[in-house]
Structure 1
Amino acid sequence: MIPVSLTDVGSYLPAHSVDTSFYTGDEAPPADGVMFGPPARRRHAAPHETATHMAVEAARPVLERRRALGEDRVDVVLTNVALPDRAFTGAGADIVARLGLDPVPEWIIDVHNSGCASFVYLMKLGRSLIASGQARTALICCVQNMAGQLFARPEVRGRKHAAVPGDGCGVGFLSAGDASPVLDLVTYHGVEYANDMTLAVDTRKYWEPGEGEIDIGFTESRVKQIVARGNRLVPQVTSELCARLDTPTSDIDVLITNQPNRMFLSNWHTELGLKPERHLDTFDQYGNLFGAGIPVTLAQARDEGRITKGDLLVLSGFAHAGDFAAAAAVRW
């Protein structure tokens, strides 16, 4: 099998930074340890900052670096967008057009499931195509664009969960070769939980006209179930991955997960036997970036020199109400 490496990462974060008072006014935010304890700040995409715009801005510097190293072709483009704003085609084709990729990649795949763990899932798809000899390179784009468009709306922003997400985009580049090899990946599908996270729009379908604004449909009982699953799933897939590598979880040099809240972040590294400094945390800077959280945190860590050559890097996360989880190991 052809070895595949994660050779580059990049990110784009909207300029507009929002503090918690935008949501809570003069009221104190919820306690830190709960599911919806808000970050200190988060970014909101402006009206012109579509999913395509954010992906292109994140990808351009990565592609320029790859071209300087002789990789001037992209064979695969994989995307995940939290709130699709290209209803029929997905974002992939528009991203390819705006980046001016020539020739047009043979594989343009818009993946709508896998949510907060989408970066790892797209790594698995890209790795499979490259390892099979059907491609040499893959561009992965994960966009979170719900904070400024959905959770900032007047009827929604006062609800306790609205202050947690932020907007941003993270991208990754996969290449054939062993420069920074993807050692293994583990995925989990909790299909029985697929309907536990829904859109709440009274009795209508979300595209039908009506007076109530669209929101995420949380109930107290479901939140408790999601907390239990989230606490379990990330250590589960991470431990399975390390077992396959015959490596104890305590030997992970750098763990990067999705960034849902402080409670999960603390519980995950404690369960895995890792010191907090090995589990990178961008929650208070950017909030919950959904699928963009892993690549944005990774790109920042790379730029700040927090990952060194030879490190065992593990990327791990769970999605939605626990319907998906995944982990990947990379020798940086």
Structure 2
Amino acid sequence: MRSVVKGVGGYLPDRIVTNQDLAQIVDTSDEWITARTGIRERRIAADGELTSAMGLAAAKAALADAGLEPGEIDLIVLATSTPDQTFPATAVTIQAELGITDGAAFDVQAVCSGFVFAMSTADNYLKSGQFKRALVIGAEAFSRILDWEDRATCVLFGDGAGAWVLEAERLNGTMADRGILATSLRSDGRYRDKLYVDGGPSSTGTVGHLRMDGPEVFRHAVTKISQVIGETLDKAGYTASDIDWFVPHQANKRILDGAARKLGLDPERVVMTVEKHANTSAASIPLALMTACSDGRIKKGDLVLLEAMGGGFTWGALLIRW
């Protein structure tokens, strides 16, 4: 039994904020941001535009791409660190808006690694036979938790959502090498104070703002990403040279370039959207993949590698035959 991708979709808010725009409100410049991150612009959610609304738009696009109706979905797993409310889960809001009354819906919180964690979770439910079809969504409104006076962090993030439709299929013969082939997930709470939000219901009773020790995150990122990628490839019996497309979490161009070099991957095989989207946390991988599908780069039969690292630290990788 394999989890096979049936459709992909995404959503980006209308408002574009460029590096030049940010230079008007914080001590920075387009040159400073671009040189250190590769980011030139990001999308910011409109006032009143919720994480659930962005996730819903991405989910509808993925369902349309799959040619399915909402009622054919029996599982929704939403990766987000910026839910509409402390509870209920934002996934149930999307479930209700889609008119789905059967199955289950819940959120997964692993920050920037969230989409990989959510995919692995849905994959295990589908392979076990507990559910038939899943919507896996990454949706974030990170602009709501940024300190817009902190130039080290406010320039890095954007808002948006991406979604995939997965379906459980029993594959045989040559078709057995399709769908999700392997996943690896890791976390190490010793590093939780390197990337965190300084608020929460049980600590301060406030939402808080994102705080990051950038050099420490960068120092750990390439090594941890490379290790978990190696584990994932080994599980599936592949090597880095077999990869058709590398779709990493869009955190920082220098991190992406470093990971690709360590794997020995041709830069042309790396899908990179950080320049236009910035870091959209759990939404970055599905948005990047949607872009590469829309422009024709990723085709049926391609071997695609996903990876991410986020606060916690959490990190993980997933290998899929498209």
TM-score (norm 2): 0.90
- Cα–Cα, structure 1 residues 77 and 182, in superposed 2: closer, same or farther, change >3 Å? same
Work out the CA distance in 2 between the residues paired with 1:232 and 1:242: 16
The answer (yes or no) to whether the contact 2:22–2:28 under 8 Å persists in 1 is no
How far 1:72 moved relative to its partner? 4.7
- Cα–Cα, structure 1 residues 189 and 214, in superposed 2: closer, same or farther, change >3 Å? closer
3-state SS of paired residue (1:82): coil
Greater mean alpha carbon deviation, residues 18-27 or residues 132-141: 18-27
Equivalent in the alignment of 2:76? 77
Equivalent in the alignment of 2:243? 252
Equivalent in the alignment of 2:103? 106
- Cα–Cα, structure 1 residues 207 and 306, in superposed 2: closer, same or farther, change >3 Å? same
Equivalent in the alignment of 2:123? 127
3-state SS of paired residue (2:308): strand
**Pair 1:175-2:167 in alignment:** yes
Q: How does 1:36-51 map to 2 (within 5 A)?
A: 37=37, 39-51=39-51
The answer (yes or no) to whether the contact 2:81–2:140 under 8 Å persists in 1 is yes
How far 1:223 moved relative to its partner? 2.8
Which one has the bigger helix percentage?
Answer: 2
3-state SS of paired residue (2:152): coil
Q: How does 1:280-291 map to 2 (within 5 A)?
A: 280-291=271-282
Cα displacement string for residues 260-304 of structure 1 (whole angstroms, at most 9, x for unaligned residues): 111101101001100111011001111011110000000111111
How far 1:224 moved relative to its partner? 2.5
**Pair 1:331-2:321 in alignment:** yes
The answer (yes or no) to whether the contact 1:157–1:163 under 8 Å persists in 2 is no
Work out the CA distance in 2 between the residues paired with 1:293 and 1:187: 17
How far 1:22 moved relative to its partner? 2.3
Aligned residues between the structures? 311
The answer (yes or no) to whether the contact 1:12–1:57 under 8 Å persists in 2 is yes
Cα displacement string for residues 210-268 of structure 1 (whole angstroms, at most 9, x for unaligned residues): xxx942223xxx43321111111111111111122222112211000101111101101
The ranges of structure 1 where at least 4 consecutive aligned residues each deviate by more than 3 angstroms after the TM superposition are 31-34, 68-72
Equivalent in the alignment of 1:12? 11
Work out the CA distance in 2 between the residues paired with 1:70 and 1:91: 20
- Cα–Cα, structure 1 residues 164 and 108, in superposed 2: closer, same or farther, change >3 Å? same
Equivalent in the alignment of 1:225? 216
- Cα–Cα, structure 1 residues 69 and 197, in superposed 2: closer, same or farther, change >3 Å? closer
How far 1:5 moved relative to its partner? 1.0
3-state SS of paired residue (1:62): helix
Q: How does 1:1-332 map to 2 (within 5 A)?
A: 2-25=1-24, 27-29=28-30, 30=32, 32=34, 34=36, 37=37, 39-66=39-66, 68=67, 72-101=71-100, 104-112=101-109, 114-147=110-143, 149-151=144-146, 156-177=148-169, 178=171, 180-200=178-198, 205-208=203-206, 214-218=208-212, 222-320=213-311, 323-332=313-322
- Cα–Cα, structure 1 residues 129 and 19, in superposed 2: closer, same or farther, change >3 Å? same
The answer (yes or no) to whether the contact 2:71–2:99 under 8 Å persists in 1 is no
The answer (yes or no) to whether the contact 2:153–2:211 under 8 Å persists in 1 is no
3-state SS of paired residue (2:251): coil
- Aligned residue identity for 1:106: G
How far 1:158 moved relative to its partner? 5.0
Cα displacement string for residues 183-223 of structure 1 (whole angstroms, at most 9, x for unaligned residues): 1111112232234323346xx95435xxxx942223xxx43
Work out the CA distance in 2 between the residues paired with 1:95 and 1:297: 22
Work out the CA distance in 2 between the residues paired with 1:186 and 1:290: 19
Cα displacement string for residues 42-77 of structure 1 (whole angstroms, at most 9, x for unaligned residues): 0000023101100111111222343x3688511111
The answer (yes or no) to whether the contact 1:199–1:206 under 8 Å persists in 2 is no
3-state SS of paired residue (2:8): strand
3-state SS of paired residue (1:160): helix
- Cα–Cα, structure 1 residues 32 and 18, in superposed 2: closer, same or farther, change >3 Å? closer
- Cα–Cα, structure 1 residues 200 and 129, in superposed 2: closer, same or farther, change >3 Å? closer
Work out the CA distance in 1 between the residues paired with 2:286 and 2:196: 25
Work out the CA distance in 1 between the residues paired with 2:23 and 2:38: 10
Q: How many percent identity over aligned positions?
A: 25
Work out the CA distance in 2 between the residues paired with 1:162 and 1:69: 38
3-state SS of paired residue (1:161): helix
Greater mean alpha carbon deviation, residues 296-305 or residues 38-47: 38-47
Work out the CA distance in 2 between the residues paired with 1:161 and 1:195: 15
3-state SS of paired residue (1:237): helix
